[in-house]
Amino acid sequence: MATLGNPQNTIEILKKYDFMFQKRFGQNFLIDTHVLEKIIKSAEITKDDLVLEIGPGIGTMTQYLCENAREVIAVEIDKNLIPILENDTLAQYDNVTIINEDILKLDLNALVKERNGGKRIKVVANLPYYITTPIIMGLFESHVPLQNITVMVQKEVADRMQAGPGSKDYGALSLAVQYYAKPYIAANVPQNCFMPRPNVGSAVIRLTLHEEPPVKVKDEAFMFALIRASFNQRRKTLVNGLTNAAELNLSKEEVQAALEELGLPATVRGEALTLEQFAELTNVLAK
Ligand code: SAM
């Protein structure tokens, strides 16, 4: 089968099935073979791997995954794409399972247990940008056994995931991602690599899951509540940000004492703290 990464072949398939793009599903199909090869290489796919693809579209990247992985599970929400995948673009592969479902509703732990004996899998996707954060955070927080997640995301989102203290992109997403994984931006991808063209630039980012979290905290949920409160009011000092957050129920004196214990100035802002410092703060303040 001719690769769909060639735009002519994609146009042919779309015409054959009279396919109408659904904006609400964030459909921007890849039409660049170099980018597709780059994604497969970055994900470090081998014939041992079970790969979960989120949103196969017409199967452009899925074909590459089928060639390179042991087994592929492709989860697509748009029922109009299923006949294209089953009868046409993936028909020649016997190592792919197509599931017509919303990825946010699927029990991935059960799926990995059943299909990979609970062993760690890889996730690859050109993500629908409207649900990038819920998908990534959902994968992390449900503790699905994962080796890495290699995804196309909006360029700004990739920058935020990789940012550290002192950068304007640093925030709650950076800390959440870096608590679970090591980010690496593998490529920046221009708009003309997609059909239709998105309104924003894109990037491929690989998130390699930590074997152990890089910091130890008494209460994970409390640390993330502290982080959210610190960045909710970016221009405020950490003391004000944390004491203004009603759900944390912290007094000014408590926060000031904790900062002193950590050797941080009373006027410090959340955006100056590293993940290690947020973890220390959590361990001092957690009751
Ligand atoms: N992988 C294809 C490619 O690279 O050409 C398509 C990528 S397109 C950016 C995103 C795909 O995700 C679309 O096929 C869309 O229908 C699908 N999608 C959107 N929301 C989804 C959801 N909640 N669950 C599963 N698939 C979804």
The CATH number linked to 251 is 1.10.8.100
Query: Do residues 45 and 140 share a domain?
Result: yes
Query: Do residues 103 and 160 share a domain?
Result: yes
Burial of 216 from C-beta contacts in 10 A (0-12 / 13-18 / 19+)? exposed
For ligand 1, atom 17, the nearest C-alpha belongs to: 55
CA of 78 to the centre of ligand 1 (A): 8
> 202: helix, coil or strand?
strand
For ligand 1, atom 23, the nearest C-alpha belongs to: 102
How far is 175 from 178, CA to CA, in rounded Å? 5
CA of 22 to the centre of ligand 1 (A): 10
The residue to mutate among 25, 127, 135, 194, having the most atoms of ligand 1 within 8 angstroms of its beta carbon, is 25
List, chain by chain if needed, residues with CB within 6 Å of any ligand 1 atom.
25-30, 54-57, 60-61, 75-78, 102-104, 126, 128, 131
Query: Do residues 51 and 28 share a domain?
Result: yes
168 belongs to a structural domain = yes
Question: How many domains does one find in the chain?
Answer: 2
What are 247-286's pLDDT values in tens digits?
999 999 999 999 999 999 999 999 999 999 999 999 999 9
Residue 259, phi then psi, degrees to nearest 5: -60, -40
2 belongs to a structural domain = no
Final residue belonging to a domain, choices 169, 188, 209: 209
Cβ atoms within 10 Å, residue 226? 28
For ligand 1, atom 6, the nearest C-alpha belongs to: 57
96 belongs to a structural domain = yes
Query: Do residues 143 and 280 share a domain?
Result: no
Spatial contact of 282 and 255, defined as CB atoms under 8 Å apart: no
CA of 256 to the centre of ligand 1 (A): 47
Cβ atoms within 10 Å, residue 228? 18
Dmax (CA) for the chain in angstroms is 68
Question: Residue 44: its pLDDT value, please?
Answer: 98
263 belongs to a structural domain = yes
CA of 63 to the centre of ligand 1 (A): 15
Query: Do residues 149 and 233 share a domain?
Result: no
CA of 58 to the centre of ligand 1 (A): 9
* Ligand 1 atom at shortest distance from the alpha carbon of 104: 23
Query: Do residues 171 and 251 share a domain?
Result: no
249 belongs to a structural domain = yes
Q: Specify the pairing of strand 29-30 against strand 50-54.
A: unpaired
For every one of its 287 residues, what pLDDT tens digit does the chain have, with 9 covering 90 and above? 568 989 999 999 999 999 999 999 999 999 999 999 999 999 999 999 999 999 999 999 999 999 999 999 999 999 999 999 999 999 999 999 999 999 999 999 999 999 999 999 999 999 999 999 999 999 999 999 999 999 999 999 999 999 999 999 999 999 999 999 999 999 999 999 999 999 999 999 999 999 999 999 999 999 999 999 999 887 889 999 999 999 999 999 999 999 999 999 999 999 999 999 999 999 999 97
Query: Do residues 234 and 174 share a domain?
Result: no
Domain that holds residue 53: 7-209
How far is 270 from 50, CA to CA, in rounded Å? 39
How far is 162 from 217, CA to CA, in rounded Å? 22
* Ligand 1 atom at shortest distance from the alpha carbon of 57: 14
44 belongs to a structural domain = yes
Question: Residue 220: its pLDDT value, please?
Answer: 94
Query: Do residues 96 and 237 share a domain?
Result: no
Final residue belonging to a domain, choices 209, 239, 273: 209
* Ligand 1 atom at shortest distance from the alpha carbon of 27: 8
Query: Do residues 263 and 125 share a domain?
Result: no
DSSP 212: S
60 belongs to a structural domain = yes
214 belongs to a structural domain = no
CATH number of the CATH domain containing 88: 3.40.50.150
DSSP 210: P
* Ligand 1 atom at shortest distance from the alpha carbon of 194: 5
Q: What is the pTM of this model?
A: 0.95
Report, in this order, helix, strand and coil percent for the chain, each rounded to 5.
45, 20, 35
CA of 2 to the centre of ligand 1 (A): 21
Query: Do residues 187 and 234 share a domain?
Result: no
Q: Who contacts 131 (Cβ-Cβ below 8 Å, separation ≥6)?
A: 26, 104
CA of 126 to the centre of ligand 1 (A): 7
Closest-CA residue to 285 (of 213, 212, 225): 225
Query: Do residues 281 and 187 share a domain?
Result: no
Spatial contact of 90 and 84, defined as CB atoms under 8 Å apart: no
The amino acid present at 201, given as its one-letter code, is: G
* Ligand 1 atom at shortest distance from the alpha carbon of 125: 1
Final residue belonging to a domain, choices 186, 209, 232: 209
CA of 230 to the centre of ligand 1 (A): 33
Query: Do residues 67 and 149 share a domain?
Result: yes
